[in-house]
Amino acid sequence: MQKKHPGLSKTEWRLMNICWRKGRVSARVIYEETLREKARGYQTVKTMLDRLVAKGYLRREKFGPIWLYEPDVQRAAVAAREIESFVGTVLDNTVAPLFAYFTGKEKLSREELEELRRLVEEQEDERGRTP
């Protein structure tokens, strides 16, 4: 059974994205990376990282005088859970508005369009096979 993790705030998402991108990383490196978007204190970032450890998203290890943080969950799993929650809560379990938004807002690449076509065809095939 998969462990249930509490949701992430926007700032926690930003910290997790840094950790997913960099892998095993010190609090100082994460702090310096966050300064690119917003001024915040080192201790604030350190406290948030420790909260992410407590929530089960990160693990940490002491390496001499510093703490190293590393993701303890895969980005894809967390993103999938958040997307399912969004679709269920905001879109009332319908995905068409989500696709309409992206196709109207963004210029999709040829690869993205092909992937969407493939997904639609898979759904059509599955519906054709079910009684």
* Predicted confidence (pLDDT) per residue in 13-34, tens digit: 999 999 999 999 999 999 999 9
- Residue 2: name the closest of 110, 90, 76 by CA: 76
- Rounded-to-10 torsion of CA 25, 31, 34, 39: 180
Q: How far lies 123's CA from each of 53, 76, 86, 93, 98, in Å?
A: 39, 22, 21, 16, 16
* Position 86 in a domain: no
Phi, psi of 90 (to 5 degrees): -85, -40
The structural domain count of the chain equals 2
Same domain, residue pair 59 and 106: no
- Domain assignment present for residue 53? The answer is yes
The reply to whether 80 falls in a domain is no
Q: Model pTM?
A: 0.74
Q: What is the pLDDT of residues 54-86, one digit of tens each?
A: 999 999 999 999 999 999 999 999 998 888 888
Q: Which domain holds residue 122?
A: 95-131
